Each structure stands twice: as structure tokens, then as C-alpha cells.
Amino acid sequence: MIDVSRKEVYRYLGYGYQIPDAVIQKRVEEAICQFESCQPRHVVREFDLKIHENRIEFESLCIQSRDLLKNLKGCTKVVCMATTLGRFPDHLIQRANIVNKADAVIFQAVGAAMIEAYTDHINAQIKEEALKRGYYCHPRYSCGYGDFDLGYQKDFIRILDMPKTIGVTLTEGNLMVPYKSITALIGLSKETMEKSENSCAACSQKDCIYKK
């Protein structure tokens, strides 16, 4: 079972870092129990990385993003990862939207906190394995952060073969299905970073309501 941070669930519900009343806390606990039926999956691939003045190249990709260039500075390899909770959360949320919209909001928050927790867990495994080989991981960075365009999701789908490996597809608007899924890049370098920022701190989007 994935260890879900209650504080993160409350934050996604809009409470910031405040604790909601006992009724909401109880409903969150009930929702987390329902999410025990999730079957999380992930896929990870590592590539050699070439960084130019205004673009990033690996595999068959050529990415233009100033924010991602900053994140990957000094890296010689990059890890592409994708995680998902599967279709169960989508079914819960869709049903709740019909029966009880308040429950749907709580399910959304629990699902968001759970996929982040699962992705953190896989990220930690990547860090541990990289360190054994003498590499240090930069903070993971996802499509949609800063100027890293969401359209690059199509490349993640292709190079990770996500429909086959973890059952994730893409809508015409470049949103993943199942919806509680995450893709990210993690740069690997031989030198430690002077300061390791989390993805929110590194993102140039200042008006995000979920910013930590």
C-alpha cells in the first residue's frame, strides 16, 4: 500500500497547510481505504543526453525549453519515467461525479496525493541505483512545468511504449488516461548540485494553486 500524506491530500483540497474538521478527515480516511484497490505501475528508461545552447537531445527527441535546460545543466544522461495508478481511480471519480460531487473532489485529492507518493517512491529507487554508479539525480521535471510544453507527452508515450508497458494512452489534448498518471525527466550528472530545488521551486509558473 502506498503511504499517502494526509497533509498533501488536505493541500489538494484547498486547505493549504491547515487541518480540516473531523468530518472531512474521516471522509479522507475512507477514500484512502477505497484506493487500496489501485494497481500502480511504472516504466523507466535511461538515455545518453546531449545539451546544446538552446536544445536538449536524447533518443530521437529534440526539446526546446529554457527551464528544462536549466534543470539538466551538467547532466550527461537522462531518465524518462512514467507512473500510473491505473483505471480504478477514474472509475471512482466518474461514479462519484454522478452520485456525490463532494466525494468526487475528495477522490481527486486522494488520487493526486497518491500518484505523487508513488512517483516519489520510484524516484527514490532511481536515485539509489544511480548513486551506485556514481551519478547524482537532478529534481524530476514534467511536461507542463514552466516552458516545457505539454505536447512532448506524445514523445513520452512513444519512447516508453506506455500503452503496452503500463496501459497509459493520450487524449487529443495531450492528457494521459488513466488520469492519475505522471511522466517526468530526471537528469543524471557526475557532480552534485549546489542546491537541489523541488520541481515546484524550479517551475516558472508562479500562479499555480498547488505550488508548494
Give the residue extent of every domain in the chain: 6-192
The CATH architecture annotation of domain 6-192 reads 3-Layer(aba) Sandwich (3.40)
Specify the pairing of strand 77-84 against strand 56-58: unpaired
Q: What is the pLDDT of residue 174?
A: 93
* Residues in the chain, overall count: 212
Cell output for 195? 542546491
SS3 content of the chain, % helix, strand, coil (to 5): 45, 20, 35
- Determine contact, residues 56/17, Cβ cutoff 8 Å: no
Reported pTM: 0.90
Instruction: Supply the pLDDT for residue 207.
Output: 53
Q: Identify the pLDDT of residue 139.
A: 97
Rg of the Cα trace of the chain? Answer: 18
pLDDT score at 193:
72
| Residue whose cell numbers read 516558472 | 204
pLDDT greater at residue 210 or residue 74: 74
Percent of the chain past pLDDT 70, that is, above it, reads 91
Higher per-residue pLDDT: 22 or 201: 22
Segment 64-111, tens digit of pLDDT: 999 999 999 999 999 999 999 999 999 999 999 999 999 999 999 999
What does the pLDDT look like over 20-64, one tens digit per residue?
999 999 999 999 999 999 999 999 999 999 999 889 999 989 999
CA atoms of 110 and 108, how far apart (whole Å): 6
Strands 169-170 and 136-137: unpaired
**SS3 at position 87:** coil
Contact 49, 117 (CB under 8 A): no
The CA-based angle 99-103-108, given to 5 degrees, is 120
Grid cell 480540516 is found at 20
Predicted confidence at residue 177, as pLDDT, reads 97
pLDDT at position 17 is 87
